Amino acid sequence: MITTVLKEYGFDSKNFIVQPFGSGLINSTWKIIQQNESYIVQRINHLVFKHPEYIADNIRLVSCYLQDNYPDYLFVAPVKTITGKDMICVDGNFFRIFPFVQGSHTIDVVTDPATAYEAAKQFGAFTKKISGLDADRLNITLPDFHNLTLRYTQFESALNAGNTERIAIAALFIEQLKKHRDIVDAFENIKSDPAFKIRVTHHDTKISNVLFDEDGKGLCVIDLDTIMPGYFISDVGDMLRTYLSPANEEEKDFEKIEVRQEYLDAIIKGYSNEMGDELSETEKRSFIYAGKFMIYMQVLRFLTDYLNNDIYYGEKYEGHNLVRAKNQLVLLEKLIENANVQ
């Protein structure tokens, strides 16, 4: 299939080495390497992204806006096929190719507050630079993606209609996570609070979605499938969720989960350095809430998937999504504890 895709771009697959790339859970990614240039090929999971063409439209719109207004800003737009398309469909699967930015690298774990700062600055800069573009012009690539209220309702539906054996196994955990329902109530208030603005946000701010140069400076953000109108708490929250702890969502030894204060400070500083003038005073007071919001949503999503027999995230071992959910609840409770002692 990759060979057919490459042909559409005028590439001879004999000249390329193809390697699986990255650790994303939803799309499939490969790096293709030729002597002096490399590319990233990606197959979009169209069971998740029901309208892959919406993604292509958004990237085109954002790319043109940035090109016109900030020509020096590095934005990695897709390569075009021989016939000028930026996404193609082969046997019902959607593919696109990005140039691999030479001299750049990605990282999987944040081991230095300076890295957290750089990443937060990059995500802040992205939303800041695009702030002149009306967010309503973007397609919603994943409806209700970060709608915490809906995620809670989906969790409740899974309690009613999900795998009964698994519901019994997770019973105590379910009670524990219900205690944090106030996080959903706070989100309900945010939705009707004009102090929280809808902007173009990234919605997937994990560290592997930032390119760094050889000196560890942030170059740009990548993985633009979920750029959509949204709240800043999505972006800041997912950074807190994925940079604060030295152990990630896959860790089974929960003793290793920690909230590292200097990383928290670095994220707030990096993001505020770009977005400080854009955020309202109420938004500026909501950084910790942002973390709670995204971590709680991930607990609900992993647990819901466990109760629904792993139809969304899949599992690599029995009980994988329950372990992930428990891991994220430990992180949430550590963040709350940390905020209470400040």
- Report the interface residues with ligand GN1, using CB under 6 A: 24-26, 48, 204, 249, 298
Smallest distance from the beta carbon of 255 to Mg ion, in angstroms?
A: 28
Q: Which is nearer to ligand GN1, 6 or 295 (CB)?
A: 295
Residue 204 interacting with Mg ion (CB under 5 A): yes
Smallest distance from the beta carbon of 249 to ligand GN1, in angstroms?
A: 6
Q: Which is nearer to ligand GN1, 109 or 171 (CB)?
A: 109
> Cα separation of 147 and 196, whole Å?
14
Q: Which stretch binds Mg ion (CB under 5 A): 138-146, 180-188, 223-231, 265-273?
A: 223-231
118 binds, among ligand GN1, Mg ion, none (CB under 5 to 8 A by kind): none
48 binds, among ligand GN1, Mg ion, none (CB under 5 to 8 A by kind): ligand GN1
Which residue number places its CB atom closest to Mg ion? 204
Smallest distance from the beta carbon of 26 to ligand GN1, in angstroms?
A: 3
Residue 235 interacting with Mg ion (CB under 5 A): no
25 binds, among Mg ion, ligand GN1, none (CB under 5 to 8 A by kind): ligand GN1
Smallest distance from the beta carbon of 185 to ligand GN1, in angstroms?
A: 22
Which residue number places its CB atom closest to ligand GN1? 26
Smallest distance from the beta carbon of 218 to Mg ion, in angstroms?
A: 18
**239-278: contacts with Mg ion (CB under 5 A):** none
Lookup: tokens for 271: 């993001």
> Cα separation of 155 and 335, whole Å?
22
Q: Which is nearer to ligand GN1, 146 or 199 (CB)?
A: 146
> Cα separation of 133 and 4, whole Å?
36
Residue 238 interacting with Mg ion (CB under 5 A): no
Q: Which is nearer to ligand GN1, 11 or 49 (CB)?
A: 49
Residue 86 interacting with Mg ion (CB under 5 A): no
Number of residues that bind Mg ion (CB under 5 A): 2
Smallest distance from the beta carbon of 63 to ligand GN1, in angstroms?
A: 20
Residue 128 near residue 274 (C-beta atoms within 8 A) = yes
Q: Which is nearer to ligand GN1, 97 or 325 (CB)?
A: 325
> Cα separation of 74 and 105, whole Å?
14
Q: Which is nearer to Mg ion, 44 or 170 (CB)?
A: 44
Q: Which is nearer to Mg ion, 108 or 188 (CB)?
A: 108
Task: Work out the burial of residue 25: count CB atoms within 10 Å of its CB; fewer than 13 is exposed, 13-18 middle, 19 or more buried.
Answer: exposed
Task: Work out the burial of residue 278: count CB atoms within 10 Å of its CB; fewer than 13 is exposed, 13-18 middle, 19 or more buried.
Answer: middle
Interacting residue with Mg ion among 115, 117, 201, 223 (CB under 5 A): 223
> Cα separation of 73 and 65, whole Å?
11
Task: Give the residues lining the site for Mg ion (CB under 5 A).
Answer: 204, 223
